Amino acid sequence: MKIKKINIGDIELDNNIILAPMAGITDLPLRCLAKSGGAGLVYTEMMSAKALARGDEKTKKLLKIADNERPVAAQIFGGDAYSVSEASKVVRDEGADIIDINLGCPAKKIAKAGAGAELLTNEKLVSEILESVVRSVDIPVTIKIRTGLLPSQNMAPEIVKIAQNCGIKMVAIHARSASQGHSGSPDLKSFAAACYNANIPVVANGGIVDEKTAADFLQLPNCAGIMIGRGALGNYSIFKRLKEFFNEGKKLSLPLKEEKMEWLKKHAQYSAEHYGEKKGFIVMRKVVHYYIKDLPNAAKIRDMFNKKVVTLSDFNELIKLI
C-alpha cells in the first residue's frame, strides 16, 4: 500500500489522499490549509446547479479559487440534465479544474429537489445528467455517491458502470447508505464490490481518521485512493502523516496543541482576508470546535469565539487565553 499519484482525466494529482467536499465547510481558506497540509485534491462546497445556471452571484462567489490550491474540483448538485449541464459550463468558465456531481447528499432539502442520493434510484436520469455534462464541458467530470439509500442496498457497482460508460473520470464512494448519514462503520464489502472491476479510479470515503481506517480501504483491490472529510478539519497534517506512514513506514505523532493553534491562526487570517473580518469569523464558527475540542476549557473558548470575536484583534486576545 503506497500513496501514489493518480490521474483524473488529463489532470495528475501529486497523491491519492483527497479532501472531501463539505457543504458550508470547504471554502477557499480551509481548502488552502488542506492543500498546505498535503492534500492531493481539494473540493469546493456543494453548489446548486439551478442557482449557477440562472447566474446567482452569491453562489458564483463560492467558485473563487486561489492558484496555490489547484487542482480544485467544484461540486454541484441538481435533479435535471439541463440545469446541471448549464451549471457545469459556469463552473468551467469560472476556472475550476474538475467538475464533480453530487449523487450522495442525504439532506432532505436536496432529496426534495430530486438531487443528491435521491438520484441513485433513477439510473436513467443519472445517465442523462452525466452524458449531458460530459458533452457540455472539456474538463474532467467526476461523481460522488453513497452505496445506496439504505444499508441493505448496494447501488454503487451499477452506478460505477454507468459512470464509466458516460465518460466520468473518477467516482468517490462514501461507503455508507444515505440513511446512515455519518454514523456507523463504513461498509467495506460494498465499496470493494463497486471498485473491483472498475476501469476508472474509484476513491473511498467514510470514517477515515487515521492510519488504520485509511489502510482498511487502501488494502482493497482496485481502491484508487482515499477521501477525508471531517477527519481533516483542524488536523490538516493528516495528509502528510498518512503519506509518511504508507510510503516510509513511519507513524508520526498527532498534532500537539501548539500546532493546532498555528493552524487556527492561519485559518483566522485567511478567513478575514477572504471575507472581511466580521463575516470571516462568523463563517469560522462552523469549524472552530475542531481546533479546540481536546482542550479542557473547549466549551468556554468556543462560546467566547462565537459571541465576542468579530475582528482579528478580538481573536488575538482570545488566543492569549488558550
**Number of Cα atoms under 13 Å in the Cβ half of residue 153:** 16
Nearest to 46 by CA among 87, 4, 9, 89: 87
Burial (Cβ within 10 Å: 0-12, 13-18, ≥19) of residue 312: middle
- E strands in the chain: 6-8, 11-13, 17-19, 42-43, 47-48, 72-77, 98-103, 141-146, 170-174, 202-205, 225-228
Dist. CA 68–CA 282, nearest whole Å = 24
Nearest to 116 by CA among 79, 67, 72, 61: 79
Name the residues annotated as catalytic: 105
Dist. CA 14–CA 235, nearest whole Å = 20
Grid cell 488504520 in the structure block, residue? 212
Which secondary structure element, helix H or strand E, spans residue 121, and what is its range?
Answer: none
Cα–Cα separations (whole angstroms), residue 278 to 65, 98, 145, 281 = 21, 31, 35, 6
CA 286 to mean position of chain CA atoms: 16
Dist. CA 89–CA 74, nearest whole Å = 12
**Number of Cα atoms under 13 Å in the Cβ half of residue 65:** 22
Nearest to 270 by CA among 95, 61, 33: 33
14 near 3, Cβ under 8 Å? no
8-state DSSP, 253: P
Dist. CA 279–CA 240, nearest whole Å = 31
